[in-house]
Structure 1
């Protein structure tokens, strides 16, 4: 946190650090997209590039900017603000700077994704949408994390960790109202509303209301359900409703319903939170270091294994609703729509949070043939 830095660097040093991190991020994006486009199944590899390379690098950049107090240094170039707001504004500027590094890293990949998926998505449109997401998320994270300044790491590290976990859970529970702030959404009306309701009914997906995510030329056909147990909201992209027929859409929504019934999201979230708390406690010296590290690793292995089993159970639930062959065909069509090559694994990856898509399809088809 910026608050941890007693003496922030000069403005020129902060700018130099930001420019250096941004240039490295842009270079990673350029090299990454060149490599990925030469690999098999490039769309899937782009997802790995974002999740395994670029996102961790942006987190590292945020940590560098925060621990060196760059946010406070950037504020010196702005008009003076009340002292009470300095900490909040410093955090927002730091998040925004890290978000700008993400944009610089993301920019070189837009053209590559457009080419391998053969979609007509303008670079300016992609960057504009990502910029809105970055600014909105920076503001939300600032509001959420500002209360953590009340908790002193030196006096009560355990209270700090528990407060952080509570804030993360609270942020996830308000996500039905948060997502419309970060992305363009609309409420379905008329025939579209009737169709979505019928699809959900056939799929066995019970939600309180529905929002359409406007994807325009992105051609991303996906669904997600978020919210507390008594207020589930379905977000479905406009492309999903445009390109999939009722049979395919019902099967994919049935998988989503199966994930809700088997608590896939809760298992993943619980695994990450418990493992993170144990890891943080180990690093901060709250309890025995090595047993806590072992606990963190054990929770990850068991939680991810259980999550993979629950995904298979969600597929089984969907198969009960519409048939195994229909679900397999729907997953195949989903892969074709996104130019994904269904991957298969001879040996399961214990650190994978997902089941290989090709293995899911093969399992359903084998069961359907029987």
Structure 2
């Protein structure tokens, strides 16, 4: 690859220059670390202010919309902070080797760790601002527990992502084709390893004998087999029930709040709905547009695709993929309704929403940036289907 090519100029230094220039002194390295720390503090303060402003605006939003945009603001803040810190650590290591002493792979892993920690700090700061402005946010019974959960999730998530970026560095150096293949393999691996990732990013435990007997009876009643069951100890009363992983390797994750607040009929209906979603690989369909758009963005960054063409293509891919995911959720609901009845499934959704403190009175008119349709819309479709019969 010729020196100074568009490919080399468009990606971080450590991916193309394994021999960074010699710096001046450890004092400069210390100054750079202090500068990074100050930047994190300032970034956290900005994220907290943004979160607070959003929290005030969300008071006029329905609960489902507020919860969804809380995740957008929190994860978005964490993403910006993680990418920025990753680039800063890479650039500082290139200018001053004493910034991260040791071999290249060591500096890359340090950059990944810093990115994960910074993402957790800034993302949690944004969430803290939201909770300060709106302490009655749905699913939040204990703000401190919710902050700890988000901090752990964001830190592990972004650390893992940037560590994987380090591992696919050879593919990046090999060119766009190899990079696309590496991303596809990574995509499938993350899907298959989803249960492990969930166990790491959340506080989980094995079910007690009473919980195990109850869940095994529910699984048998809907003819669903899983490899294992984990109880999510979120500490905030969150209600969740998920089937995670690839076929023959799926795990059932149930929150303590769901077991405590939902009766067996509601849990059974939710389990049927989750089984139909897993049968249609909804998780893959929901994430696939993001990976496809990432491939397009990489093409623009590397200069193989113009921004004029790539930008609109990436937007269309994401919006089209999300729309497909929403349609697939409707189909999953329809299949679940065939098994237990449309009215029964709608009732279960309403009972779960009531137990979770969700307000279903208002439905947003636009839902383009979500992979799931509004719950009230899903309930209305099920009611209409029941009336037609």
Query: TM-score scaled by structure 2?
Result: 0.82
Name which structure has the greater RCO, CA cutoff 8 Å, separation 6+: 2
Whether 2:14 is the aligned partner of 1:3: answer: yes
What secondary structure does 1:68 align onto?
Answer: helix
Give deviations 1:7-42, integer Å, cap 9, x for gaps. Answer: 8883343233222212211111122222222x1324
1:56 counterpart residue number: 76
> Where does residue 335 of structure 2 map in the other structure?
317
Q: Is the 8 A contact 2:140 2:146 kept in 1?
A: no
Q: Are residues 164 and 33 of structure 1, via their aligned partners in 2, closer, same or farther at CA, if it must alter by over 3 Å? A: same
Distance 1:99 1:127 in 2: 10
SS in 1 for 2:246: coil
Of residues 154, 168, 178, the one that matches 2:197 is 178
1:31-64 per-position Cα deviation (integer Å, ceiling 9, x unaligned): 2222222x1324531331321x332232122222
Q: Aligned partners of 2:162, 2:321: CA distance in 1, in Å?
A: 30
Pairs aligned (count): 364
- What is the distance in 1 between the residues matched to 2:365 and 2:111? 47
Matches of 2:365 and 2:148 in 1, distance apart? Answer: 41
Structure 2: distance between partners of 1:297 and 1:279: 10
- Structure 1 stretches lacking a partner, 5+ long: none
How far apart are the structure 1 equivalents of 2:99 and 2:308? Answer: 46
2:116 is equivalent to residue 95 of structure 1:
yes
Residue range with higher mean Cα deviation, 13-22 or 286-295:
286-295
Per the alignment, do residues 58 and 347 of structure 1 end up closer, same or farther by CA in structure 2, a change over 3 Å counting? Answer: closer
Structure 2 match to 1:16: 38
- Structure-2 residue corresponding to 1:244: 262
Instruction: List aligned pairs for 1:124-139, cutoff 5 A.
Output: 125-139=145-159
Distance verdict in 2 for CA 1:165–1:100, change over 3 Å: farther
Task: Output the CA distance in 2 between the equivalents of 1:167 and 1:305.
Answer: 24
* Root mean square deviation of aligned Cα: 3.1
Which ranges in structure 2 are unaligned for 5 or more consecutive residues? 1-11, 22-28
Point out the more displaced range, 230-239 or 260-269: 260-269
Mapped to 1, the partners of 2:264 and 2:177 lie a distance apart of 50
| Other-structure match for 2:289 | 271
Three-state SS of the structure 1 residue aligned to 2:254 is strand
Aligned to 1:192: 211
- In the TM superposition, what whole-angstrom CA distance separates every residue of 1:123-168 from its partner, at most 9, and x where no partner exists? 2x33333333344335433442321233445x51332343234224
Superposition deviation, residue 250 in structure 1: 0.7
Show the 5 A alignment for 1:291-310: 291-310=309-328
